[in-house]
Structure 1
Amino acid sequence: MSNDSARIATLVGSRLCHDLVSPVGAISNGLELIALAGAPGPDEIGLIEQSCASATARINLFRVAFGHASLDQQVSAREAAKLLSDYCLGSRLQMDWQVQGDSQRTDVQLACLAALCCETALPLGGRVQITESGGRWRITATGQRLATEPVLWSMLETAQIPPDLSAARVQFACLAMLAPERGRKLTSQFGDAAASIEIA
């Protein structure tokens, strides 16, 4: 395993743990409140249900985005749309899967990674659209305010991983490395109104 691959593996692990700590911690807090009260109330049950849903949504999306994907696996449009909509529940983010029919899991993985990249450009929330036409995928972020990090976005085309890459941005490295392995070319564009990633 190369140094970059080993580093990305540890960053992915850190990302997964970081994103799951909050909902799992909230579940623990809800159970503690129930233990203190002696009986579950609607607030405690609501907190646990919401936190369980959040943890499950993140696990399901991360399994597709960061897990192993093979060419013989298919993902339906309904399943892909649900993965993204569940991930966004309770947030100011909206992700729209506009691809019709089934797609290869390898393509869905790249699209999900690109959607997570686009999410970073929307600090105040916004919309991420995923479309596909003739084998070319486009993932576009629009929102009230865009905040792009040029070093990260240029990585998609150069595959040069910066030494200070954080776990919260590891999706950029995963996408930059996986796409060319699958014969795909990445093109990124960003400005004041939108940021987009094309997978051709």
Structure 2
Amino acid sequence: MTAPVVLDPLDLAALISSRLCHDVISPVGAIVNGLEVLEEEKDPQMREFALDLVRKSAMQASARLQFARLAYGAAGSAGAMIDLADAEGVTRGFMRDSKAEMTWTAPRALLPKNKVKLLLNLVVIASSTIPRGGSLDIAVEGVEPDTSFRLTTRGVMARIPAHVEDLIAGTPPENRVDAHVIQPFYAGLVARETGMDVNMVIDGDTVTITAQDTLPDPQFGA
């Protein structure tokens, strides 16, 4: 079995930062464009269009940053627990402008921070499996410490993106990790940290992603 690639902490931080900048640069750029139109344009209709652009882009940037704070950031001290209701809220904001309709089924519960981070990173991966839109069903099953995740996507031309399974496993092609693939690689890091195993299966126009505990039950020993 190939050992996972280990990144230098500074390289990991730099690649995650690049990913975050990529996610927010588009709505931030749209805000700047809208403000420039407001400064120069006198036509009421154009000004209203620019205001609407600024308003929608600001909401999109805010939603992406709130999602990223939980998916990639500290979001509390070490060992923190996060409410699944908060995770649902930021996920709905993140998916609001996507082509996919989302459903969320989960108990009212607190989960360890890193498990929530894994769930949100799996949402990003799941959304990439239906580039033409469709549906995304997110289910959190069981109770701690035996919580598991199931994300199911359905859509035309559904696919598992190239190399994403290798990246989650920490074994990218040619052992190379860059800003374009850091997100699924990072998801794999979090999965191993939480002791969860991630699997992806495609059947026609349906992709299923599952994550469940791989650690042995303490009562039965290692």
Q: TM-score scaled to structure 1, two decimals?
A: 0.87
Report the CA distance between 1:6 and its aligned residue. 4.0
Find 1:149's aligned residue among 138, 158, 161: 161
What are the ranges of 5 or more consecutive residues in structure 1 without an aligned counterpart? none
Q: Which residue of 1 aligns with 2:40?
A: 36
Q: Which residue of 2 aligns with 1:129?
A: 137
Find 2:53's aligned residue among 41, 47, 51: 47
**Secondary structure at 1:3's aligned position in 2?**
coil
Identical-pair percentage: 26
**In structure 1, distance between residues paired with 2:134 and 2:9:** 32
Report the CA distance between 1:47 and its aligned residue. 0.5
Contact 2:84/2:106, CA 8 A, preserved across alignment:
no
User: Larger helix proportion, structure 1 or 2?
Assistant: 1
Contact 1:60/1:83, CA 8 A, preserved across alignment:
yes
Q: Alpha carbons of 1:117 and 1:47: their partners in 2 closer, same or farther (altered >3 Å)?
A: same
Find 2:81's aligned residue among 67, 73, 77: 73
Find 2:109's aligned residue among 79, 102, 109: 102
For residues 141-196 of structure 1, the C-alpha deviation after alignment (integer angstroms, 9 at most, x for no partner) is: 2212213234212433x321334445343221111111112222222222332222
Contact 1:85/1:94, CA 8 A, preserved across alignment:
no
**In structure 1, distance between residues paired with 2:89 and 2:190:** 24
Q: Which moved more, 1:90-99 or 1:122-131?
A: 90-99
**In structure 1, distance between residues paired with 2:166 and 2:7:** 20
**In structure 1, distance between residues paired with 2:129 and 2:61:** 23
Q: Which moved more, 1:35-44 or 1:124-133?
A: 35-44
1:18 aligns with 2:29: no
Q: TM-score scaled to structure 2, two decimals?
A: 0.79
Contact 1:84/1:97, CA 8 A, preserved across alignment:
no
Q: Alpha carbons of 1:165 and 1:83: their partners in 2 closer, same or farther (altered >3 Å)?
A: same
Larger Rg: 2
**In structure 2, distance between residues paired with 1:196 and 1:169:** 20
Contact 1:23/1:52, CA 8 A, preserved across alignment:
yes
Report the CA distance between 1:90 and its aligned residue. 2.8
Q: Alpha carbons of 1:68 and 1:139: their partners in 2 closer, same or farther (altered >3 Å)?
A: same
State the AA in 2 paired with 1:19: D
Instruction: Give the 4+ runs in structure 1 shifted more than 6 A.
Output: none
